[in-house]
Structure 1
């Protein structure tokens, strides 16, 4: 059975009572992708890596990569790690008009159709169709029928690209969560779990829209619906999954045995909450900011260690270098961080929403990280310093599972999060 077949089998496995899920790694950071592939290789797992419409599209997104570029990027890392490509699944997340919602609807949808065609032609085998956002002149959230018709148009373009390329037909995910892509930007005290009837309506209108375009075969490959199970995070708050609040959603899967749910914004959930999500039918768990948050934690810890082991008078700390960069280029945090100057300064670096992740690809950030790693190159970091500044990794270092060297510690910081998801999904 191939990796995509195993993905398609998730609904059947749930219906037979098996505890089975998959982690969806949503990041374009090379160290996160490397860690995910090393983690999967060590545990003999398939690895699902997804790119969002804002990260990767025909215009380059904020990574500067097209879908074909992103595939080559991931495959180069897989070759370096020795990860078998037959166990790799690439996905596209929130594929729709979101990057161009400032345009008129017909223009935005034309761009979205070109984008999903590129994802499909590049062999992305899991495609999340999300046309829920209004474009210029439309309300922020659209009615279900309009969303479904636009999603079906996107699927039609994807199907055509796959047929022309002789590729394996993709699986689809429909629906969207609240809030829309980009993360929570408001208080988290009124999060509403998706209702059972709302999910039923979403599935029904999509089935009708697909049928109108003679896409019944494509709709048969819809394996999951994105809903809001009652999980979210903000700058410093986490809304933890409460199974009783989502009991009605679990009941929906009894009447729709060919579907499971896909849960977004599962970052920072406790271990038992992640495992309960999978047990309740949320078989696809998305994680993104938590992985780069763990990377930033480890980098900042290594910066403190470098100040002790290899002082560099006059050289700014990594945090100081990143602060200067973010102040110089505030677009990726200014709309999302709120409060006093002191509160915003903390949010820039330490928010759970991890706005700093958008800055790591910048040349100035890469140079700052390279300088830090050069200061620590060839050094074995003493266990007491690991305990003091990278406390979560101290036990693994002491047990000999992690080498106390900078790069190994960076990967281990990310893999510690992936371990939580592996325990939850298997």
Structure 2
């Protein structure tokens, strides 16, 4: 199925509408919903792990690349989803998790990480060496970035040879949106300039070829650019095709590439469809999926309070508030404002930094208590209408089914956009 990714540029050249949703999440219910949504189709499912989620040190999930692969395959088996239809990708693979260290030390860690991803069977690798390390500018120039990307590609190529695996395909690009969304107010964004894209491609081509990595460069099928799409804590910048016309035109002279669009979360379906039409053949989504999951859980929290007086009000929301206040590391430096404003952002921000807390034992216990309170209960349609906006037309579902359905609704938006 990794040939699907390699075929994306050719499909564009041939005038065929071919694209894929990249699911960037380690939440088991997001993964499960992805397989349920894709089960009746025929094409592949692309699931990506970021360098901060998963790496050779465990990342914030505690999983190494091989662990993540086993985790995903176990859920696929439970859902009856054929493992050969899964494409595993590594997102933002580079020195970012160790950027506070000197560059050489961080790059050595990044090389080991890329090798671990490839050896574990990840066949789509986003090489992201664009962020500066200790003592360097926050964003690096094309030449430095391309040299570091070539080092990472060399490590990936060697890992594939040593493991007896097909070599991976690559995504390059220096104009990488902030992982997880912007941290400031947004009203519009300027798309990447054509000159910047051309320079990035030419610089990577020259440096890869000089390093003897011609074959690896030929498998670089995607480039990350800024199409003018982003989300912040409380706002979303929707794609405006007319603003990206000159950017999109670059692909006519670079037939070996498609664009990879990051931060497409919360885009309307028609804008997602326009992105696909314009050559953005890989649409990445992550926080938008866990945002939908949180919406459903909080809706069920309200329903449990209505149906069971002994449940204790909004018990789940209260537990998550207590947890986030006790352990503020994942949100405090990201959410500005007064105490009241931070409270709203903790729970409802589009950046969805609450997603880092769902694997915590306290959160897992609170979710389990919610499901227990609703176990065996028929949820009245009127309460579904009141508290579960994504559940319209879903039919009778248990509480967990409503959570999965909410995520599937988002995935269907992407599928509809890809179909056109």
| Same fold (TM > 0.5) | yes
1:141 alignment partner in structure 2: 139
Alpha-carbon distance in 2 for matches of 1:332, 1:57: 18
Query: Which residue does the alignment assign to 2:295?
Result: 297
| Alpha-carbon distance, 1:172 to partner | 0.2
Distance in 2 (CA, whole Å) between partners of 1:185 and 1:359 is 19
Q: 1:294 to 1:164 in 2, by over 3 A?
A: same
Distance (Å, rounded) in 2 between the aligned partners of 1:143 and 1:213: 18
- TM-superposed CA distance for 1:13, in Å, is 1.0
Q: TM-score by structure 2 length?
A: 0.98
Map of 1:288 onto structure 2 = 286
2:376: which partner in 1?
378
Shift of 1:181: 2.3
Q: 1:75-119: CA deviations, max 9, x gaps?
A: 100111111111100000000000000000000000000000000
Please name the residue that 1:206 is paired with.
Answer: 204
Map of 1:129 onto structure 2: 127
Structure 1 residue 204: deviation in Å? Answer: 0.8
After alignment, is 38-47 or 261-270 more displaced? 38-47
- 1:416 aligned partner: 409
Kept in 2, the 8 Å contact 1:177–1:264? The answer is: no
Range moving further from structure 2, 141-150 or 37-46: 37-46
Is contact 2:93-2:127 (8 Å) kept? yes
Question: For the Cα contact (< 8 Å) 2:301–2:314, is it kept in 1?
Answer: no
Query: Offset at 1:190?
Result: 5.3
1:46-85 superposed matches below 5 A: 46-85=44-83
1:400 is aligned to none
| 3-state SS of paired residue (2:39) | helix
Deviates more, 1:62-71 or 1:37-46: 37-46
Return the match for 2:167 from 161, 166, 169. Answer: 169
Report the 3-state secondary structure (helix = DSSP H, G, I; strand = E; otherwise coil) of the residue aligned with 1:224.
Answer: strand
Name the CA distance, whole Å, in 1 between partners of 2:149 and 2:210.
12
Contact 1:306–1:376, Cα closer than 8 Å, also in 2: yes
> Does residue 1:256 correspond to 2:264, yes or no?
no
Question: Is contact 1:222-1:259 (8 Å) kept?
Answer: yes
Q: 2:400 aligns with which of 391, 407, 413?
A: 407
Moved more, 314-323 or 405-414: 314-323
Q: Which runs of 5+ in 2 are unaligned?
A: none
Q: CA deviation at 1:295?
A: 0.3
- Structure 2 matches for 1:14-29, cutoff 5 A? 14-29=12-27
TM-score for the superposition, normalised by structure 1? 0.96
Distance 2:177 2:119 in 1: 29
Structure 1 counterpart of 2:153: 155
1 CA distance for matches of 2:75 and 2:312? Answer: 35
Q: Aligned partners of 1:370 and 1:166: how far apart in 2? A: 43
CA contact 1:89–1:125 (8 Å) conserved in 2: yes
Q: Does 36-45 or 290-299 show the bigger shift?
A: 36-45
Moved more, 270-279 or 205-214: 205-214
Given that 1:383 and 1:394 are in contact with CA atoms closer than 8 Å, whether structure 2 keeps it comes out as no
CA distance in structure 1 between the partners assigned to 2:389 and 2:55 by the alignment: 38
> Hey, what's the Cα distance between the residues in 1 that align with 2:376 and 2:6?
45
Q: Cα RMSD (Å) of the superposition?
A: 1.1
**Shift of residue 250, structure 1, vs aligned partner:** 1.3
Partner Cα separation in structure 2 for residue 177 and residue 39 of structure 1 = 31
**Is the CA contact (8 Å cut-off) linking 1:32 and 1:411 kept in structure 2?**
yes
Q: 1:313 to 1:95 in 2, by over 3 A?
A: closer
Corresponding residue number in structure 2 for 1:268? 266
Residue 117 of structure 2: which of 93, 116, 119 is its match? 119
Query: Do 2:114 and 2:156's aligned partners in 1 also have CA atoms closer than 8 Å?
Result: yes
Q: In the TM superposition, what whole-angstrom CA distance separates every residue of 1:264-310 from its partner, at most 9, and x where no partner exists?
A: 00000011000000000001000000100000000000011111222
Query: Any conservation in 1 of the 2:10–2:255 contact (CA below 8 Å)?
Result: yes
* Offset, 1:173: 0.1
In 2, Cα distance between equivalents of 1:316 and 1:285: 35
Q: Deviations over 1:328-375 (max 9, x none)?
A: 000111011111211110000000010100000000000000000011
- Residue among 96, 99, 102 paired with 1:98: 96
- Runs (4+) of structure 1 exceeding 4 A deviation are 313-316
Q: Is the 8 A contact 2:101 2:134 kept in 1?
A: yes
1:367 match: 365
